[in-house]
Amino acid sequence: MPRKLFRKFMPSVDKVREVKALGVFGDALFHPALWHLNRRSAAGGVAVGLFCGLIPGPLQMLGAAIVCLVARVNLPIAIVATLYTNPFTIVPLYLLAYEIGQFVLGASGGKPAPPPPDWNWSAMVASANAIGEWMLGLGAPLALGVFLLACVLSAIGYVVVRIAWSVYLRNAWRRRKQRRQGASV
């Protein structure tokens, strides 16, 4: 993947250091591996973000940051990758996770999942509570399904980034070789 493109949108470590609220984390947040951009770190960041994106509630970015601190992968990429879940995508993803959990537990053919509650934009807290209660009512199939779906999405994201980065590098090397051969002729 083009590093210049990623670096264009990534904040610099110095800019992040200026945020006084992040001083609570000390130097752990500013470890060079969390900000280094290479094939392994970017792929790991995407994998962490896709995995933590299915954490319920507003804890997705915090979960991704904690896992990045442990795994030493790119923090900004992981945080951005969690954004695939939002009020529009979380319900379909959780319904898919519920179906996966039912299939794995052998509960398919049982009662279908109850329909999710309607989202009311004028009462967002009440709507979020209703969705939380709906998710809790789905129980073990949802819990197992969310974990399995997160693992699958994480693995797919990791492999796709590694392959895309390799393809990009091969094409860049090929173009560089062609430019060098054209310049020497």
Mention every residue, 6+ apart, whose C-beta is less than 8 A from residue 42. 1, 6, 74, 77, 161, 165
Phi-psi bin for 72: left (phi > 0), alpha (psi -120 to 50), beta?
left
- The mean predicted confidence, pLDDT, of the chain is 84
Per residue in 125-142, pLDDT tens?
888 888 778 777 777 888
- What φ, ψ does residue 73 adopt, rounded to 5°? -115, 175
CA–CA separation, 69 and 71 (whole Å): 6
Per residue in 29-53, pLDDT tens?
777 788 888 899 999 999 999 999 9
How many structural domains are present in the chain? 1
Q: Which domain holds residue 17?
A: 3-184
Helices first, then strands: H and E counts in the chain? 8, 0
CA–CA separation, 185 and 157 (whole Å): 42
Burial class (CB in 10 A: 0-12, 13-18, 19+), 102: buried
Note the pLDDT of residue 128.
80
CA–CA separation, 98 and 144 (whole Å): 8
Note the pLDDT of residue 11.
67
Note the pLDDT of residue 153.
97
Note the pLDDT of residue 22.
63
Note the pLDDT of residue 21.
62
Mention every residue, 6+ apart, whose C-beta is less than 8 A from residue 128. 57
Lookup: tokens for 119: 């989202």
Indicate the pTM of the whole model: 0.75
The rounded average pLDDT for each run of 10 residues, N- to C-terminus, in the chain (185 residues) is: 62 67 67 84 96 88 91 92 90 90 76 72 81 76 92 97 94 91 75
